[in-house]
Amino acid sequence: MKPKALDLFCCAGGAGEGLSQAGFDVVGIDRDPQPRNPFPFILGDVFEIITQMMRRKKFTASDGKKYGLVDFSMIHASPPCQGYSDMTNGRWQDRVKDHPRLIAPTRTLLQKIGKPYEIENVSGARAELVNPVLLCGTMFGLKTKDGSQLRRHRYFELSIPMMLTPTCQHNKGSSIGVYGGGQHPKRRKPATVGVYGHAGGSSNRDDLASFGTQDRRDAMGIDWMTGAELSEAIPPAYTKFLGEYFMTYLMR
């Protein structure tokens, strides 16, 4: 039997897909319905469900099976990132109060459980993460079919010692990344376009075409999500890389 990974705040399953590729059976938990998440899924508040699981209760997932904490070998958590986002704390700082900052409460909960874990978040959260590991799409050769690099930095706090990681491989060409702006050197597309918000269309200001949803899917290595889901997703390559390390750790 494969070891099982619990994917907290799972959204549409980007992190879960990477863990699955690393060899785990994945079960997700999220407070919002996730009709396109390809894995068994438990609908509800993460903190409430995990607290009940710690009391030895089991919950029924979308595959009809019941799961409790004893079933899982490791836990991935991606608490909401909006409260830590550079954009929220900059352009939309008046909305910060509307977004919870859940990294510390999540860590406290995971430490009580006592299983190996990882906590993921955006660059703006790195000060709240303990000795985080940085991953970027360029480390894994992620790009659009036209060759625009995925420059999407995410930070991971790990409960186990971590080996050396690859380095970013940013080149001087175009990229599809986290922030907008610039100009594609050949195709009149932005040099750096965020995997967030609405895809497609053009800018009335400079008449530059935007990367479409399919470009973003290609760059992320995700073919089942909507544009809005991609904006909150982790490229599976990131959690596959870490998941393989967790797998080796568990086997030892």
Q: What phi, psi does 41 have (nearest 5°)?
A: -140, 135
Band (95; pLDDT cuts 50, 70, 90): low
Q: Looking at the domain assignment, is residue 238 inside a domain?
A: yes
Q: Looking at the domain assignment, is residue 165 inside a domain?
A: no
* In contact, 56 and 73? CB cutoff 8 Å: no
pLDDT at position 186, please? 46
Q: Looking at the domain assignment, is residue 67 inside a domain?
A: yes
Beta-ladder partners of 28: 7, 41
Q: Looking at the domain assignment, is residue 89 inside a domain?
A: yes
Q: Looking at the domain assignment, is residue 86 inside a domain?
A: yes
The model carries a pTM of: 0.84
Burial per residue of 132-170, b for 16 or more beta-carbon CB atoms within 10 angstroms, e otherwise: bbebbbbbbebbbebebbbbbebbbbbbeebeeeeeeee
- Is residue 7 scored above 50 in pLDDT? yes
Distance CA 14, CA 136 (A): 15
pLDDT in tens, 210-228: 788 999 999 999 999 999 9
Residue ranges making up the domain that contains 54: 4-136+153-158+230-251
Q: Looking at the domain assignment, is residue 234 inside a domain?
A: yes
Q: Looking at the domain assignment, is residue 92 inside a domain?
A: yes
pLDDT in tens, 144-197: 999 999 999 999 999 999 877 888 988 888 888 644 333 344 444 554 445 555
- The DSSP secondary structure of 122-155, one letter per residue, reads -GGGGGGSSSPEEE-GGGGT-B-TT--EEE--EE
CATH number at residue 35: 3.40.50.150
Q: Looking at the domain assignment, is residue 66 inside a domain?
A: yes
Band (143; pLDDT cuts 50, 70, 90): very high
Close Cβ partners of 42 (under 8 Å, ≥ 6 residues apart)? 27, 28, 29, 49, 59, 60, 61, 62, 67
Question: Based on the structure, what is the number of domains in the chain?
Answer: 1
Instruction: Dig out the tokens for 146 from the structure.
Output: 């036209």
Q: What phi, psi does 132 have (nearest 5°)?
A: -70, 155
pLDDT in tens, 43-67: 999 999 999 999 999 999 999 999 9
Burial per residue of 178-206, b for 16 or more beta-carbon CB atoms within 10 angstroms, e otherwise: bebeeebeeeebbbbbbbbeebeeeeeee
Beta-ladder partners of 74: 5
Instruction: List, in sequence order, every beta strand (DSSP E) within the chain.
Output: 4-8, 25-30, 41-43, 59-60, 66-67, 74-77, 117-121, 133-135, 149-151, 154-158, 175-177, 192-194
Query: In the sheet where 192-194 sits, what is the strand order?
Result: 149-151, 175-177, 192-194
